[in-house]
Amino acid sequence: MDHRLQARERLRKLPEAQRAAWLDIAEDEFMAFGFEAASLNRILARAAISKGQAYYYFADKGELYRAVIERAFDEFVDLLEVAPTEPENTAAYWQQIAALFGKVTTILQRNNRLAEIGRGIYREARAQAAIVDLLERLHTQLARLIETGQRLGAVRADLPLGLLTSMAFAALREADQWFALNARDHDQQTALALNRRVFTVFAAMLAPSAGTCTTVPPATSS
């Protein structure tokens, strides 16, 4: 594993301009073809990197992909400017979540490049495997957010945190993809309205289930 980190370090120490140029070209290829179908050889040719050079600065194709994604991820976090205030009650909690939801939405709407990069990740298992540490960090953040809600009683606590987080996150990703596919069918007005309703679904998933909402228990298996 030392080899991987060694190469990572070398890539990091490269002159900013060169590194950026390489990653630009790699990003272009990865976004155009996806992780698997992207051709490393093509990237190297376009960027005028020799094979020897390549494997000196990143251990394999996955590591190059990781570098691309990490850069995009950092960009995204910069745009997000997250304010880490602890909400004190349910109302404040939901307000904070809603604000975050809105912010993410507008960032992705305005920055289609970042949005597409993010979608690309979840389309291919091997892409996810290549950046597993980054995804873990993201998932941890989301889980922390939801856990806060649980402590306040704003979020149902009868399911394992990881399970609930995964389900909610998956639903949101799917919604994002739906919007990406059906974007041209909606003007900004209706898109916003739809977006609000998606949040409603999201909130319903997390809300404590006691009482009115869910009336029917599932059937036991035969």
Whole-number Å distance between alpha carbons of 35 and 173:
19
Whole-number Å distance between alpha carbons of 121 and 208:
31
Contact (CB, 8 A) for 54 and 40: yes
Q: Which of 164, 180, 184, 189 binds a copy of itself (CB under 8 A)?
A: 164
Residues 28-57 that bind a copy of itself (CB under 8 A): 34, 36-37
CA nearest 113: which of 172, 169, 72, 68?
72
Residues 53-92 that bind DNA (CB under 7 A): 53, 55-57, 60-62
**Alpha-carbon distances of 162 from 64, 96, 140, 158, rounded to whole Å:** 29, 21, 9, 12
- 180 contributes a contact to a copy of itself by CB under 8 A: no
- 50 contributes a contact to DNA by CB under 7 A: yes
Q: Contact residues for DNA (CB under 7 A)?
A: 10, 38-42, 49-53, 55-57, 60-62
The residues that touch a copy of itself, with contacts defined as CB under 8 A, are 34, 36-37, 91, 94-95, 98-99, 101-103, 105-106, 109, 123-126, 156, 158-160, 162-164, 166-171, 173-175, 177-178, 182, 192, 194-201, 203-205, 207, 209, 211-222
